[in-house]
Amino acid sequence: MVGIPLVLVVFAVGDSDVGSALVGILYLAAIALYAPLLMMREGANNGQTLGKQVAGLRVVHQSGEPMTLVNGLLREAVGRSLPNLITCGIYGFVDAIWCLWDPRKQCLHDKIGSTFVFDAGADPRAATTLRN
C-alpha cells in the first residue's frame, strides 16, 4: 500500500539522485508514521492498524490507556523501524521471534513501547493486568 505513492514519485522525478533520496525519505516517513497514525484513532479501532483490524488484534499500552501518537511512534519508529534500518534487517528477525520465549509474550518493539498485543475483544485494562 505504501509502495504505490512511492512509485508515482519515482515516475514524477525520474531517475536521479534527488529522486532516489526523495523516495527513500518518503518511504522511511511512511513506514514510521503508518502504524502510529492508525493506532491513535479514537473509539473501537484504537490500537489497530488495518492488518490488525483484519486479524482481530489490538495494541494496548501497558497502562491500559488508549494508544496515542507518542506511544505509537515510540513502539513503531524507535522500537522497530530505526533499529531495523541500522542493523540492515537483522534486528527485525530477532524482534519478530523474541515473543516466542518472552514470558510476557512481547516482541522487542513492544517492550520499548510498553505495549501488548491482544485479541481486539479483550478488555485492555483486564488484559494488561494479567500479563504484568
pLDDT digits (tens, 9 = 90+) for 97-110: 999 999 999 999 99
Residue found by looking up cell 497502562 in the block: 63
Nearest to 73 by CA among 25, 118, 17, 29: 29
Most distant pair of Cα atoms in the chain: their distance: 53
For residue 76, which of 30, 35, 108 has the smallest C-alpha distance?
35
Q: List C-alpha distances in Å: 39 to 30, 44, 62, 91, 128.
A: 14, 11, 15, 23, 17
- Please, are residues 77 and 32 in contact by the beta-carbon 8 Å criterion? yes
Cβ atoms < 10 Å from Cβ of 48: 21
Amino acid at 125: R
Mean local confidence (pLDDT), 84-112: 93
Q: Which tens digits make up the pLDDT trace of 15-69?
A: 667 777 777 777 778 877 888 999 999 988 898 999 999 999 999 999 888 899 9
pLDDT at res. 4: 55
Q: By C-alpha distance, which of 114, 118, 39 is closest to 78?
A: 114
- Can you give the pTM of this predicted structure? 0.74
